Amino acid sequence: MMKMNNDWGMTLSIIIPAYNAAETLEATIRSAPGIKSTSVEVIVVDDGSTDETPAICSSFEDKIRYRRVENGGVSRARNIGAKMASGEWLLFLDSDDLLLQDAAGMLLETAQRHSASVAYGQVIERSAPGGKDRINGFDYIAGDPPHRALNGLYRGVIITPGSAIVRKALHERIGGFVTGYEPMEDRDYWLKCGLLERIAYCPNPVLDKTWRPSSHGSQHSKRIYRGQKAQRALRNWCRERGIDPSILPSDQVFLKKALDEAIDWKCWEILRPLLRDAKKIGLGHWRAQLLAFLHRKETPDWVHVEPRAMHE
């Protein structure tokens, strides 16, 4: 296993976006090796918290770097942290997750052994009371670009951002996280990484995560609607970077899959905006049209949020 030696310089930057995270943030910061080693820096971007988050951060004094910004969402906070980072490698740790003790060393060693620009590991997933804990993680997207990355087109193979490291240069090359794609911003992010550079898999747990009702992954309507929006926008992103967009399914395929999934999850409020987009490309989906009529719902305001690539 790779040791976190001080003579490496500032190798890894751990970026923690925090919004009203007072209940969990201290434990998250303490799980990061940066407060014990000068080889790693810990950056907390306070996304306009109104609780005791600033006080918790100040208690760590010079062991962390702290920046408070106006509330703008997790993607923007991660991008701000990445611009502050001194490390060659970045790890985006959610403010309620815990890094396992040897996580940073295992991920850095995996990346170097495979000459990869991303390395990710398994996650210990802790469920709500009554649920079962499990270890989750598969090697589906590990390998060379671009085709291995497409195994993550419809599912997030990297369970959560804190279970992976990425070269800062690659983060900048893909354009960072896109605001307005939440809660699918990380699936879009890792897919873009894998379309450009090699990804490596570490078959060991690196992160301890507890799923909560507020977890982004549980917001099915946003997950479905914004997921297909990101998938369809990916075509232009590929063209801009010299990747053949024909490796991607058609917009018709993306929309049909989203409509079917919205019906399965009974996400009636997104049927009408999905059908409007489907009509533009001539997709008929009679079942969705009937259900949209029977379950009339107002279109949520968040549907109208325009995605934005990295800024600031």
| Type and span of the H or E element at 202 | strand 199-210
DSSP 88-126: SEEEE--TT-EE-TTHHHHHHHHHHHTT-SEEEEEEEEE
69 sits in the region (left: phi over 0; alpha: psi -120 to 50; else beta) called: beta
| pLDDT value of position 4 | 42
Copy the structure tokens of residue 51: 């609780």
What's the pTM? 0.94
| pLDDT value of position 212 | 74
- In angstroms, the CA 154 to CA 147 distance is 14
The ranges of the chain annotated as CATH 3.90.550.10 are 8-96, 106-247
| pLDDT value of position 132 | 86
CATH superfamily assigned to domain 8-96: Spore Coat Polysaccharide Biosynthesis Protein SpsA; Chain A (3.90.550.10)
Copy the structure tokens of residue 259: 């409509």
pLDDT < 70 regions, the chain: 1-10, 35-38, 128-130, 213-218, 311-312
- In angstroms, the CA 32 to CA 35 distance is 7
| pLDDT value of position 38 | 63
CATH entry, 106-247, from 3.30.1330.80, 3.90.1150.10, 3.40.50.300, 3.90.550.10: 3.90.550.10
Structural contact between residues 105 and 2, judged by C-beta atoms closer than 8 angstroms: yes
| pLDDT value of position 127 | 82
Structural contact between residues 77 and 69, judged by C-beta atoms closer than 8 angstroms: yes
